[in-house]
Amino acid sequence: MRAVLDAEPEDEKDWLEWKGSLDLTKPKGVFAVARCILAMGNRQPDHAALKAGGLAYMIVGAEAGNGGVPQGVELIDEVKLVNALDTYLGPEHPVYDARFIFVDGKHVLVVVVEPPKWGDHIWLLWKGYQDQDDKRAKLVPEGSIFVRHGSQSKPASASQIRALEQRSLRGLNIAPAFKMGVEVKGEILGFDSSEDEVASWIAERRHLLLNLSNRSSWPPKVEEHLAGVALVLVDTAARRLAHAGANKLSIRLQNQVPKNLENVWLTLRDTTGRIIAAYSANEPLERDLPEAPTPFEPLFEGALVNWSSLRADPLDLSILDWEVVREEGSPMEIKLKLGNFIQVEDSGISTDFHLFIAPGDTSPLGLDYTIRTLSLDTVMTGTLEVPVVNRSIRVSQVIGPENDLPTRPEPPTEAPSWMQW
96-103 and 106-113 beta bridge pairing? antiparallel
Band of the pLDDT at 403, cuts 50, 70, 90? confident
| pLDDT at residue 349, rounded to an integer | 84
| pLDDT at residue 260, rounded to an integer | 83
Band of the pLDDT at 250, cuts 50, 70, 90? very high
Residues paired with residue 392 on neighbouring β-strands, in sequence order: 190
| pLDDT at residue 325, rounded to an integer | 83
DSSP 241-283: HHHTTTTEEEEEEEE-SSS-EEEEEEEEEETT--EEEEEETTS
Residue 400 burial by CB count (10 A; 0-12/13-18/19+): exposed, middle or buried? middle
| pLDDT at residue 413, rounded to an integer | 59
pLDDT tens string 114-145: 999 988 999 999 999 999 888 888 999 999 99
Between CA 113 and CA 13 the distance in angstroms is 14
Band of the pLDDT at 238, cuts 50, 70, 90? very high
Between CA 326 and CA 403 the distance in angstroms is 30
In this structure, how many other beta carbons lie within 10 angstroms of the beta carbon of residue 308?
Answer: 9
Q: Is the pLDDT of residue 330 over 50?
A: yes
Residue type for position 252: R
Between CA 303 and CA 269 the distance in angstroms is 53
Cα–chain center distance at 406:
53
| pLDDT at residue 414, rounded to an integer | 61
Q: Across the chain, how many H-helices and E-strands are there?
A: 8, 17
C-beta separation of 233 from 289 below 8 A: yes
Band of the pLDDT at 113, cuts 50, 70, 90? very high
The residue-averaged pLDDT of 91-111 equals 91
Q: Is the pLDDT of residue 301 over 70?
A: no
pLDDT tens string 151-191: 889 999 999 999 999 888 876 655 566 788 888 999 999 99
Q: Is the pLDDT of residue 312 over 60?
A: no
| pLDDT at residue 344, rounded to an integer | 64
Residues in Cβ contact with 77 at an 8 Å cutoff, skipping those fewer than 6 apart: none
| pLDDT at residue 133, rounded to an integer | 84
Long-range contacts of 221-225 (CB under 8 A, 24+ apart): 221/293, 221/295, 222/293, 224/293, 225/290, 225/292, 225/293
Between CA 86 and CA 90 the distance in angstroms is 5
Between CA 365 and CA 355 the distance in angstroms is 10
In this structure, how many other beta carbons lie within 10 angstroms of the beta carbon of residue 116?
Answer: 24
pLDDT tens string 265-293: 899 999 889 999 999 888 888 788 999 89
pLDDT tens string 216-229: 999 999 999 999 99
pLDDT above 70 covers what percent of the chain? 85
Q: Is the pLDDT of residue 77 over 70?
A: yes
Dihedral pair phi/psi, residue 374, rounded to 5°: -70, -15
C-beta separation of 171 from 118 below 8 A: yes
Residues in Cβ contact with 90 at an 8 Å cutoff, skipping those fewer than 6 apart: 124, 126, 127
In this structure, how many other beta carbons lie within 10 angstroms of the beta carbon of residue 119?
Answer: 14
Dihedral pair phi/psi, residue 264, rounded to 5°: -90, 130
C-beta separation of 6 from 68 below 8 A: yes
Residues in Cβ contact with 92 at an 8 Å cutoff, skipping those fewer than 6 apart: 121
Between CA 214 and CA 219 the distance in angstroms is 9
Q: Is the pLDDT of residue 354 over 80?
A: yes
Q: Is the pLDDT of residue 390 over 80?
A: yes
**Which domains does the chain possess?**
2-173 (3.30.950), 180-398 (2.60.40.10)
Band of the pLDDT at 379, cuts 50, 70, 90? confident
* Host H or E run for residue 81: helix 78-89
pLDDT tens string 196-207: 999 999 999 999
Dihedral pair phi/psi, residue 242, rounded to 5°: -65, -40
Residue type for position 119: G
Band of the pLDDT at 244, cuts 50, 70, 90? very high
| pLDDT at residue 317, rounded to an integer | 35
Predicted TM-score (pTM) above 0.85? no
Band of the pLDDT at 65, cuts 50, 70, 90? low
Would the CA dihedral through 46, 48, 50, 55 be positive or negative? Answer: negative
Beta strands (DSSP E) in 156-234 are 180-185, 188-192
DSSP 290: P
Band of the pLDDT at 8, cuts 50, 70, 90? low
What SS3 class is residue 10?
helix
| pLDDT at residue 191, rounded to an integer | 95
Residue 300 burial by CB count (10 A; 0-12/13-18/19+): exposed, middle or buried? middle
